[in-house]
Amino acid sequence: MLHVPFGYFPDASGGTEVYVRGLVRELAARGIAGAVAAPGCEAGWVEVDGAPVHRYPAEPVSAAAAAFAAVLDELRPSLVHFHALSPAVNAECARAAKARGLPVVWTYHTPTLSCARGTMMRFGSTPCDGQFRAFRCTACASRALSGSRLVAGMLAAVPASVSAAFGRTLPGRIGTALGSRARQVARDAGFRAAMAEADCIVAVCDWVRAVLLANGLSPEKIIVSRQGLVQAIAPPADRSPESRSGPLRIAYFGRIDPTKGVHVLIEALAAIPDVSVRLDIHGVVQPGAEHRLAALRGQAAGDDRIRFLAPLAMDAVPRAMAAYDFIAVPSRWLETGPLVVLEAFAAGVPVLGSRLGGIAELVRDGIDGVLLPVADAPAWAGAIRRLAEDRSRVGALHAGVQPPRTMAAVAEDMLGVYGRLLGEVGDGGTGSPFEVAA
């Protein structure tokens, strides 16, 4: 099975790459060999965790599909599973696979697959149904760049044909701005073309399936297969009365990015200076985002209840989480997992999370966590105060946590998908589908 993400280790290590690595490992344990093809600066291959990783040039974009086709001819896989949609991972790559008689699976991992803003939040504040509408989507994406609703509306009103002409002929920022609507129309066309080539589309949560259906994709092609925990499940923490003394212990694990809402946590604590609470921020700072961490440190200055700690290796995260009363997930966009919720549950720790997207699908409010309004610092402050003052409720929430779904379950789902597709294209559905590939 050939897997195609945005990038891959050691060059990239986001959630999609973590998922792919875990899936390849689990499939290998079941006797299904896997390889990875990912865009890179130049062609070549390395071995990562026992699996071959083939790089094909991402530039120029016009040549990426041909470079990917060369990888197909070299590896001769049985099936291609795409995990991204980008200029170098696109419908042309899928057509190259289909031209060679290979089934194609596409997994929708993040809103960037179909949403130009990348968050599935309309104008950055309201959950969107995800249906592409040229005016609305152009205005939303343009607002994120210009900051002006008026300017965004004007750019969205430019007819697509005129927008395309301006984008081709006018130089610099003016041409870029006036070409906005044409770009959004082309982007949506690329998404639809890619999905048309897929024999199966994997939605990793319910809201993703709803977005796919809203855009007219066939329900027969869509399956829901939720993400799974990659790491081992940690032993439950000691929840004796002594362990519940002292300040309420809350931790954040994740990227330092405005969409993750860490600033909402800091603002919430500022509103309750008298509450005994400790917030540990294990922040992952991506290159170029150091200013965001500096801004958060400035926001938290003077509050010794807040500590900024180094990020941990992935395998160490669940065990470290077990020392806390809650893991905070204050995201301000539609998460498709998120993995951090699964990690918290693996550690036996409840979640304080935004009532939004995948978080709301995983956390059972009042049973294994507390769901709170998005970006509403006063509401978060009130909930933290109540939990700090009623530690019996904290214990009850810990007791409600169940072990999460794992990548082993994801692998079983994918074996079913692969087997069906290989059986259909290989021998009409008779015999062992995995023998067909040989």
DSSP code for 38: E
- Can you tell me the distance from the alpha carbon of 38 to that of 258, in angstroms, rounded to the nearest whole number? 28
Predicted confidence (pLDDT) at residue 438 exceeds the cutoff of 80: no
In tens, the pLDDT along 99-140 reads: 999 999 999 999 999 999 999 999 988 999 999 999 999 999
The mean-pLDDT minimum among 170-179, 240-249, 332-341, 373-382 falls in 240-249
In tens, the pLDDT along 356-367 reads: 999 999 999 999
- Can you tell me the distance from the alpha carbon of 374 to that of 178, in angstroms, rounded to the nearest whole number? 33
State in Å, rounded, how far the first CA of the chain is from the last one: 12
For the chain, which residues make up each domain, given as ranges? 2-114+186-229+408-436, 134-179, 241-399
At 67, which amino acid appears? A
- CATH code of the domain occupying 241-399: 3.40.50.2000
Number of residues that this document lists for the chain: 438
Same fold, 2-114+186-229+408-436 and 241-399: yes
Average pLDDT, rounded, for the chain: 92
Quote the pLDDT of residue 428: 47
Is the separation of the CB atoms in 345 and 402 below 8 Å? yes
Residue 383, CA distances (Å) to 272, 363, 372, 389 in order: 11, 16, 8, 10
The mean-pLDDT minimum among 115-124, 140-149, 373-382 falls in 140-149
In tens, the pLDDT along 301-325 reads: 999 999 999 999 888 999 999 999 9
Quote the pLDDT of residue 135: 95
What values do phi and psi take at 236, rounded to 5? -65, 145
At 284, which amino acid appears? V
Omega prior to 103 cis, within 30 of 0: no
Can you tell me the mean pLDDT for 42-69?
Answer: 90
- Of the candidate CATH numbers 3.20.20.10, 3.40.50.2000, 3.90.110.10, 3.30.2130.10, the domain formed by 2-114+186-229+408-436 belongs to 3.40.50.2000
